[in-house]
A and B are shown apart, each in its own frame.
Chain A
């Protein structure tokens, strides 16, 4: 019999709503800004066989990693999955995006039968590694924090204090993070309860029918969308720079069976933290598909049956323990996004959806980390302003100025005032960088930049790392590349002596400029009062030859101060008035 088109719609909407409400409970009970403000979280619902039907109501990237982690839990506890259980996971090889993303996964039982799974993941600020947060100097994964392969943290509906405290004893911010982890558990309790009420009201058959038809719908919608792409084989290679240059390579085959991505040719795993495990790579690939190809479709298990990914073992995007990999999500993960986008762009270019073809977005991570004691003697750790990159040009429009990474749907930069209030720093400027975009018929978006100094304290420890200094975003179709990222420090300036008259800009200051290497030289770099750091993101790349850019658009950019007269003349042949 055919499923009821009304009842399955009502139940399917209710399932989405339960996922949403699970996320709301998590946000309401958590305290860390990454959960509450950045909404860096995901909430999944899967059926008893582990097929995801509600795919990350919040951030798409977490939908895939939660699916992987669910499979790991089902495997590890195979014959021992009991009502009232919940499992804690952050092991990248068990599916976590990276070690800092903790997931809690729970089976849902109704009258003793396993009927469904719920799970959520969110970013924790610390997992007790050699340095707070990510570990840019790690040489093996045990330096990167405490590892949980699927571990029973809730038993018979009660938190296991021994496991819970094991986590708290190993991290730097136990007070905040204990509330965050409890919030994750509460969110699963709330969603499980609502799922049980749903099944009580409509019956298990109606629930099963809904899951089946949702997955069928996901599959059919994806298949139709993929059929729009031009069939064929596409190839891309791309690089990233850290302690050295690394290469990623991928071939996309579009045929009647769907999409097949093959990453053969990608460099073997690194000795530094830039690596990622397979789940992180696939999650980032899925994230771009969700944003570039399927933004208007319902995404679930059915969608991904049309997408196949193969990655040879032991590469920088499929590393094995004990290779370090805490940089994963924001380094190699984002490079996988870049190469996926480039491949899709090729397959979209000559289709009815060609407007979704685009040049590369600025990428990488400019992570400036200062730690120390403020005027009141309190310890602080200052990060943020992390990725002020320009967006890539699109086939029919310019890239977004200071857009951040493609597919990072939740990013924002905090206000200067909230930073100056919280931390002993003074900003000299924050803005966009004219001429940092890749030129083209449609130009890339400009990068952002900022400069600041210490204010009211004498020194701070610095553990800054970044990528994208020596490689940049790639133009498409004759569009130019964007300008790369750059972090530099002027030592011993007279900035503090000058501020009573006027606050100088970075470029107006004298002082010996030190161009930062991507990898920190060690754990002992210090910034002092009078030192000024200037951080610039990567410009987005251009789409199409600059000769085709309309004169009107060039004149607009000139007038708005986004394009210098020299480049206007040299690249576009337009003379400023």
Chain B
């Protein structure tokens, strides 16, 4: 390639990178070419070098340099677990906090939160996000109507700032009572803080303008604690990519399932806490839309956890609260429930009576016995290995050789305790873990009044395709989809997403208060538009979506309802009220609504979306035809060893395979049981019809 070629080069490549705990997944999408996927080791001490290593691997796969790769890139989406890792490792910057006089212990008491402490009486509450000695009180007060009672005492502010400076804090959090209704006091103090020093300043009405002083304070304090380090990392990623030749604005994935620029994300690191799993759910949503599916159960099974999230009638399940660092944090996120079941989950025997699986996990070190790194406990992966379901030629792109003898040995030891042969023990472990995963899905759907049989199951992440068909059969689900990019589905979801700013504000008013509702939406929309403008999103690519959290007066819980665009009028709000009642009765049962109590708004939200280039995947229609096996493996099935045909992917659209069969793709194997048919659809996903 000459310099001249580079000058005319079209920038139309898309890159997604998802940094996980062990592996960093990369995906490169080029118009007219098959996607390139890579898995490189995660570099925890030097995350920028880890990212560059993944980009090197992508470049190498298409035989060019990283500079050339980046020069052709129109969009780069990045998912990072850095913020989440800082919490797990208990790291972060030195933080001070300022709050209303009389309430310095809000963060310390943390609403008591005994359910976060648990049943064990020797357990303790997670320590306050800011030590009590670095929390300062300021005389000021606003009431529940947002009316100023007492002004800010600037002498108190000055004294607090002097003390914080003497302590040598790097970041300051600020939260006053009722600041989400009236932010004047916070604005004044934030300005004083910024003028005083170059602290990272985290202000509650900006980070989480929502009702509830403890959760708002905790979110603000956590944001302050993560701020300096996350800011430093993201800005250095941005700089390095630019130096390496990326001309496009690099974007980072948030927990809410949208992308933000490095600068925006750096000011609100709490929005990044579960960005990894969000990518897979978003990718599922896009694929489901293409396939014309409305209801999808997204199931991601890796080494240590099984994560479930729902897409219902085409809508993602969202939550606005999550627990981090033992605290309740306000953060808009895709609702993902995680249970401790994965390839590394360990089997054990309880008092010679019961075979049990988990919650202990062999993790990645030593990992399952069959990985040959010294693991000596029987895991789910060892059970799959013993049953003959795994590709003996290797996992993780052939870099990992399977030690089948080691798997048999540990299963044999375990089986002796309950009088079972190794293969019986293996089948036992698999049926127990499959049932546990079915139960995780049941909890998710039952809690929301939904029926799993109305859903398709999307299986991705290394281990899910081995278990998906059995889970589906247990739940009465007819359709299972294993996407082509299943092993790097999150990375794909990241690059396939749009820019999205989530702007929310709590304002507890009756639904009839047209004036307030209208003015809050206008305010939020103006901020959203300004944010998109500063991202460089052109006007036609801007979309503003409204939502409201509503409840019957007197209730604690609110229900999310989308709000149509256009002027807010008495009629439109009346219609919104009816929609809320409908949604409420669908969720909680007919006759459960109490309209006579009156409906009130709790929180208003605007999603400001900037549409960016997303990958186009063309459908390849093809006649159905029987697949040709590439070989066979001996597989244990209900106590018998049977010869099962194997197929090597990627398979072309239209290929039809009847179970029992094993489909080996790079990075994963799919188990197609008896009575199940798999067909490769026009998007190259495997679609299994169960039962």
Contacts and interface: CB of A to CB of B under 8 A. Distances in A.
A246 interface: no
Contact of A429 (B102, B144, B443): B102
Contacts of B114: 403-404, 408-412
Contacts of B150: 499-503
B442 interface: yes
A420 B141 contact: no
Contacts of A413: 109, 111-112
B587 interface: yes
A396 interface: yes
Given A31-B594, A417-B178, A500-B149, A39 B115 contact: yes
Contacts of A408: 114
B557 interface: yes
B108 A401 contact: yes
B112 A403 contact: yes
A329 to B, nearest CB: 16
A197 B449 CA distance: 18
Contact of B589 (A29, A221, A427): A29
Given A175-B594, A415-B211, A426 B143 contact: yes
Contact of B132 (A14, A407, A430, A561): A561
B214 interface: yes
B103 to A, nearest CB: 6
Contacts of A410: 114-115
Contacts of A96: none
Contacts of B117: 400, 403
B103 A411 contact: no
A109 to B, nearest CB: 23
Contacts of B214: 415
Interface stretch (A250-258, A265-273, A290-298, A458-466): A290-298
Given A10-B435, A221-B351, A502 B139 contact: yes
Given A409-B115, A503-B101, A17 B588 contact: no
A291 B118 CA distance: 9
Interface stretch (A1-9, A72-80, A150-158, A230-238): A1-9
Contacts of A29: 588-589, 592
A217 interface: yes
B122 interface: yes
Given A400-B125, A502-B153, A562-B132, A20 B443 contact: yes
Interface residues of B, number: 70
Contacts of A398: 124
A130 interface: no
Nearest to B589: A29
Contact of A430 (B103, B121, B356): B103
A217 B101 contact: no
B421 interface: no
A397 B447 contact: no
B652 interface: no
Interface string A5-29: 1101110111001001100110111
Contact of B211 (A409, A421, A502): A421
Contacts of A36: 556-557
Contact of A431 (B103, B149, B213): B103
B349 A5 contact: yes
B133 A295 contact: no
Nearest to B115: A410
Contact of B111 (A27, A414, A428): A414
A455 interface: yes
Contacts of B447: 24, 27-28
A307 to B, nearest CB: 18
B584 to A, nearest CB: 11
B124 A21 contact: no
Contacts of A21: 442-443, 446
Contacts of B431: 6, 10
A432 interface: yes
Nearest to A405: B114
Contacts of B544: none
B119 A409 contact: yes
B432 A10 contact: yes
Contacts of B139: 502-503
B120 interface: yes
B420 interface: yes
A6 B355 contact: yes
Nearest to B429: A6
Nearest to A298: B350
Given A290-B119, A430-B102, A432-B105, A217 B351 contact: yes
B131 interface: yes
Interface residues of A, number: 85
Contacts of A561: 132-133
Interface in B589-642: 589, 592, 594
Given A430-B103, A561-B132, A421 B508 contact: yes
A186 B447 CA distance: 13
Given A9-B356, A404-B112, A432-B108, A417 B212 contact: yes
A342 to B, nearest CB: 13
A409 B439 CA distance: 24
A228 interface: no
A20 B131 CA distance: 37
A6 B357 CA distance: 10
Contacts of A13: 432, 435-436, 439
Interface string B114-154: 11011111101100000111000001010110000110010
B401 interface: no
A309 interface: no
B20 interface: no
Interface in B415-457: 418-420, 427-428, 431-432, 435-436, 439, 442-443, 446-449
Contact of B428 (A5, A179, A388): A5
A192 B101 CA distance: 53
B157 to A, nearest CB: 13
Most buried by B among A33, A186, A356, A412: A412
A33 B556 contact: yes
B353 A8 contact: yes
Most buried by A among B119, B351, B436, B442: B119
A175 B555 CA distance: 13
B112 A295 contact: no
B118 A409 contact: yes
A156 B443 CA distance: 29
B104 interface: yes
Nearest to B355: A5
Contacts of A221: 351
Contacts of B112: 388, 402-404, 411-413
B466 to A, nearest CB: 18
Given A394-B121, A503-B150, A5 B354 contact: yes
B113 interface: yes
A37 B418 CA distance: 43
Contacts of B131: 560
B211 A431 contact: no
A356 B435 contact: no
A415 B592 contact: no
Most buried by B among A5, A292, A295: A5
Contacts of A417: 144, 177-178, 211-213
B38 to A, nearest CB: 38
Contacts of A397: 122, 124
B102 A24 contact: no
Nearest to B592: A179
A533 B171 CA distance: 37
Nearest to B112: A412
The 5 closest A-B pairs by CB, nearest first: A429-B102, A431-B105, A6-B428, A420-B144, A5-B418
6 contacts: A402-B112, A413-B109, A415-B211, A417-B177, A432-B108, A499-B141
Given A410-B115, A503-B150, 18 more contacts: A6-B431, A8-B353, A9-B355, A12-B354, A17-B443, A28-B447, A213-B354, A217-B351, A296-B120, A356-B121, A400-B125, A403-B117, A404-B112, A413-B112, A421-B508, A432-B108, A503-B102, A561-B133
